[in-house]
Amino acid sequence: LDHGFIEIGPGTLTLGGSLGFFTKYYKGVTYSHVLPYEKYDYKWNWTYIVAAFRVGYYYNFRELDIPDLNAYGGLSTGVRYALFSQTYNGPDEAEPDYTGSSANFHMAFFLGANYFITDKVAFFLEFGYDISPVTVGATFNL
């Protein structure tokens, strides 16, 4: 969510917020060190949930006769909640199943562009250290 509140040159300064999540995992295999060799599987899973306040600047390309295109960048700050879980099907004394979580301060930057296909709907592509390294989505102008 971004709301423009001050026009500066060909663009607009915005305030808003974001809420999102990102998940990733790693699966692996290990083998026992004694005969008969046995195969054990393990999986590490990370999930991040971010709630943040955003400040951005949207530059509109109307001066180049592309009024439906905006490039933008900004900063966000808030809370990042992280959840980690590990599963392992090997001997219990080697690596037991584990779950942990934490809440941390979140500060990030983002760069992106959106293109309006109608007066109310745009598609966007965003890069940065925010909810995820790359975000693709739709924007709805209320």
What is the 3-state composition of the chain as percent helix, strand, coil, each rounded to the nearest 5?
A: 0, 75, 20
Q: What is the pLDDT of residue 91?
A: 66
Q: What is the pLDDT of residue 141?
A: 83
Q: What is the pLDDT of residue 95?
A: 60
pLDDT digits (tens, 9 = 90+) for 76-112: 999 999 999 988 877 665 566 678 899 999 999 999 9
Name the burial class of residue 50, with classes exposed (0-12), middle (13-18) and buried (19+) by CB atoms within 10 angstroms of its CB.
buried
pLDDT digits (tens, 9 = 90+) for 41-75: 888 899 999 999 999 999 999 888 999 999 999 99
Q: How confident is the model at residue 129 (pLDDT cuts 50, 70, 90)?
A: confident
Better-scored residue on pLDDT, 90 or 17 = 17
Whole-model pTM?
A: 0.74
Q: How confident is the model at residue 31 (pLDDT cuts 50, 70, 90)?
A: confident
Better-scored residue on pLDDT, 79 or 130 = 79
Buried b (16+ CB within 10 A) or exposed e, 16-37: bebeeeeeeeeeeeeeeeeeee
Q: What is the pLDDT of residue 99?
A: 84
